[in-house]
Amino acid sequence: MDSDSDYEADIPHFPRDLPNILITGTPGTGKTTTSEMAAEATGLTHINVGDLVKAKSLHEGLDTEYDSYILDEDKLIDEMEEMMRPGGKIVDFHTCEIFPERWFDLVIVLRTDNGVLYPRLESRGYNAKKINENMECEIMQVVLEEARESYEEQIVIELESNSIDQMEENVSRIKAWMENWIANNNNNKK
Give the footprint of ligand DAT on this chain (CB under 6 A): 25, 27-33, 120, 161-164, 166-167
From the CB of 181, what's the least distance to ligand DAT, in Å?
Answer: 23
User: Of 16 and 173, which has the nearer Cβ to ligand DAT?
Assistant: 173
From the CB of 154, what's the least distance to ligand DAT, in Å?
Answer: 24
From the CB of 94, what's the least distance to ligand DAT, in Å?
Answer: 7
- Beta-carbon contacts of 26 under 8 Å, excluding residues fewer than 6 positions away, are 94, 112, 117, 134, 137, 138, 142, 143
User: Of 17 and 145, which has the nearer Cβ to ligand DAT?
Assistant: 145
CA distances (Å), origin 61, targets 55, 133, 160? 13, 20, 33
Q: Which H or E run includes 81?
A: helix 73-84
8 Å CB contact between 86 and 16: yes
Helix, strand, coil percentages in the chain from 3-state DSSP, rounded to 5:
55, 15, 30
Binding residues for ATP, as ranges, are 28, 30-33, 124
Binding residues, as ranges, are 28, 30-33, 124
| Cβ-based burial of 59 (10 A; exposed 0-12, middle 13-18, buried ≥19) | middle
User: Of 172 and 186, which has the nearer Cβ to ligand DAT?
Assistant: 172
User: Of 48 and 185, which has the nearer Cβ to ligand DAT?
Assistant: 48
From the CB of 159, what's the least distance to ligand DAT, in Å?
Answer: 9
Q: How far apart (Å, rounded) are the C-alpha atoms in residues 179 and 190? A: 17
